[in-house]
Each structure stands twice: as C-alpha cells, then as structure tokens.
Amino acid sequence: MPDPFLLLIAAVFAFAGFVKGVIGLGLPTVSIGLLAVAMPPAQALAIVIVPAIITNIWQTFAGSYLRDILRRLWPLMLGTVIGIRLGSGLMTGPYARYGTLVLGVLLVVYGIFGLSRARFQVSPAYEKWLGGPVGLVTGIVSAATGVQVIPSMPFMQAIGLEKDELVQALGVFFTTATLALAFNLTDAGLLSVATALPGAIALVAAFAGMFAGQAVRTRMHPDLFRRWFLVSIIGLGGYLAAETLVRLFG
C-alpha cells in the first residue's frame, strides 16, 4: 500500500477518533464514509474492523450498566448478528457495486435524522418485541455498508436509556455487530496480512484522535460540534451517492 494511502488512513482515523472522543460515537461511520471516497466499502471495512472492535470494547466496559444493557438489548443484538450473517454476500457479491450508493444514502438519512432531533418512544412492554426486527434490519444494512447506526440508534434512544448508559450501550452493541462483520470479512477473504499495517496505523491514529477529542470535550460545546458533524455527514453521503450514480449510469 503506497505511503500517501497510509497517510490518508492515518488522517481519516485521527478525525474519526476525534469525533468519537467528543460525542461518543461515529468512528466506523466517519471512517468508512471518508475511505469510501477512495476505495470500495468492503475494503474500507477491512481496515476499520480492528480499531472499531478495540475502541468499542474499551467503551463497553467504561461504565456500570453492562448487566442492564445486556438484559434489555439482547434481542436487538441477536437480530443484528442474524441480519449480518444473512447479508454476508451483499458487500462482496454481485450487488457490491451498489454498496457505496447505499452507504451514501444511509449517511444522508443518518445526518437528517440527527439534525431533526426527532425522538420516538417505545414502551418497556414492547422494546424486546421490537428489538429483534430492528436488529435484523440493522444487520442487513450493516452487512451491505459496514455502518450499524440505522435503525439501531433511534431505537436505543427511543427506549429511554440515560446518557451515560446510552454511551456504554453503543459500545456493547457496536462490539457485537463489528465482531459479526469480522466473520463476514473473514469468509470473503478480506481480512489478511495485507490489512495488518493499515489496521495498525488506523488503530494508533484512532486512539490519538479519541484522546484529543476527550481532552477538548469540556471546552467545546458538544451540540454545536454535533450539528456541524451531521451537516458534514450529509454532504459526504450526498457526494458518495451522486458519484456512484454517475459511475453506474452516467
């Protein structure tokens, strides 16, 4: 892999880690979205997978809500794993050429939803019944794009998790989903020695960005940062979708 490409990976993951340090999420979403400008989503995910797993494991145990999270979210996580396995060929099979288009549309939807501040409420009596189907859809979308935020993120907000509990829940959920994606990549032969150096650079850069983001979080207004982050995500998604449409049908 040429040196400029490694520098691109370091810059992307430093920024994605910074975003995660400030708002508690966004590393896979940002890094896959930015890397998809220069490579297919499957190749981007192969680089993202190790940093995402390690940083999410760290986030999983950075809190005291783990038992309650597992009790409430196991249907969501189980459905997501099943969906990822069912969609194992979407990122590398005959539909792989549409992956960047789907990713772009997904980023636009994610950004618009975040900016809208729309909030739903799910009664505790229904959260386990809804968790499985929401997870299944999330898993299939994730298998095609590598991104796990739609519709899982709105669902976790809708069941009334407190702020700190939500941050830890995201770590637990993303760890589970990313491990399932790792099996898909292994089956497709995309995790190999060739991804070791880019993955190591990505991991170091992501942690450096996370520590920087955590350091400035107290001095930065998180809502303002989050707003501009979501606007940027919409712009990136729109570019990816438009560029793919031109390449496919232009």
Q: What is the pLDDT of residue 180?
A: 93
Task: Say if residue 194's pLDDT is above 90.
Answer: no
Q: Which amino acid is at 212?
A: A
Instruction: Read off the pTM.
Output: 0.84
Q: What is the pLDDT of residue 132?
A: 95
Task: Say if residue 84's pLDDT is above 90.
Answer: yes
DSSP one-letter code for 191: S
DSSP, residue by residue, 53-109: HHHHHHHHTSSS-HHHHHHHHHHHHHHHHHHHHHTTTTTTSTTGGGHHHHHHHHHHH
Q: What is the pLDDT of residue 144?
A: 87
Alpha carbons 134 and 86: distance in angstroms, whole number: 15
Contact by Cβ (8 Å): 116, 211: no
Contacts of residue 158, defined as CB under 8 A and 6 or more positions apart, other chains included, come to 119, 120, 121, 122
Q: Binning pLDDT at 50, 70 and 90, where does residue 205 land?
A: very high
Peptide bond into 51 cis (omega under 30): no
Structure tokens at 25: 């999420």
Task: Say if residue 1's pLDDT is above 60.
Answer: no
pLDDT digits (tens, 9 = 90+) for 97-147: 788 888 889 889 888 988 887 777 888 888 889 999 999 999 999 998 888
The rounded percent of the chain whose pLDDT value lies above 90 is 22
